[in-house]
């Protein structure tokens, strides 16, 4: 999930759906220099996706794709 929250906001994570929650500055997410491209083979097909490593965390796949789409809509 991508969102802007108040400093006193509290999260309750569902461990069935989410591994971790962490904050990333919007400035970092909107910098295309941080939008890396990766690929992996799966079922004999190459899958290409965005990846945004931040402070020991890895934003990738659909979440990184949503962030990239937001960047493209706002800045290109």
For 8-50, what is each residue's pLDDT tens digit?
888 899 999 888 888 899 999 999 999 999 999 999 999 999 9
Residue carrying the six token digits 């990184």: 64
Let me know if 67 is exposed, middle or buried by CB neighbors in 10 A (0-12, 13-18, 19+): buried
Nearest to 52, CA basis, from 71, 41, 42: 71
On whether the CB atoms of residues 68 and 60 are closer than 8 A, the answer is no
Q: How confident is the model at residue 75 (pLDDT cuts 50, 70, 90)?
A: very high
Distance from C-alpha of 27 to C-alpha of 44, rounded to nearest angstrom: 37
pTM: 0.80
- Measured in residues, the chain has a length of 76
């Amino acid at each position: 999930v991508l969102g802007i929250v108040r400093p006193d906001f509290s999260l309750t994570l569902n461990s069935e759906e989410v591994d971790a929650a962490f904050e990333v500055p919007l400035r970092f997410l909107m910098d295309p220099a941080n939008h890396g491209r990766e690929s992996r083979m799966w079922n004999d097909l190459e899958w290409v996706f965005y990846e945004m490593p931040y402070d020991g965390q890895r934003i990738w796949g659909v979440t990184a794709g949503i962030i990239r789409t937001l960047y493209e809509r706002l800045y290109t």
